[in-house]
Amino acid sequence: MSYEGRMTEDLAMPERRLIETSLLKCLFLHGGVIREFGEGEPVVQQLADEFHLNDRQRRETLKTMYRKENRRKTSLLWHRLLFRAATALARKNLVSRPTETFRLTNRREWMLTEKGFDEAIKLSDIPISRKDSLLVASFEVQEIARAIAERPKPENYNPIDTSKKTVTRVANRLLRQRGFRQAVVEAYGHKCAMCGLKLASPDRLSWEVEAAHIVPSYARGRDDIWNGVALCRLHHWAFDIGWLTFSVDYQIQVSHAVDRLPPDDGIMGGYEFIRAPADKPMALCLPNRREMHPDPAAIRWHNQHVFNRQQRT
Footprint on this chain of Zn ion (rule: CB under 5 A): 192, 194-195, 197, 232, 235
Residue 47 to residue 189: CA distance in whole angstroms: 30
Q: How far is the CB of 273 from Zn ion (least distance, A)?
A: 8
Min CB(210)–Zn ion separation in Å: 10
Q: Where are the alpha helices (DSSP H) in 66-113?
A: 77-91, 98-105
Neighbouring C-beta atoms of residue 121, cutoff 10 Å: 21
DSSP string over 109-143: EEEE-HHHHHHHHHHTT--GGGGGGB----HHHHH
111 within 8 A of 96, measured Cβ to Cβ: yes
Write down the least CB distance from residue 247 to Zn ion, Å.
18
Q: Is the Cβ–Cβ distance between 216 and 240 less than 8 Å?
A: yes
Give whichever of 3 and 271 is closer to Zn ion, judged by the CB atom. 271
Of 232 and 306, which CB lies nearer to Zn ion in the complex structure?
Answer: 232
CB of 195 or CB of 299, closer to Zn ion: 195
- Least Å distance, CB 198 to Zn ion, is 10
User: 139: buried, middle or exposed (CB in 10 Å: 19+, 13-18, 0-12)?
Assistant: buried
Give 120 or 232: the residue with its C-beta nearer to Zn ion. 232
Which of residues 117 and 273 has its CB atom nearest to Zn ion in the complex? 273
Q: How far is the CB of 135 from Zn ion (least distance, A)?
A: 17
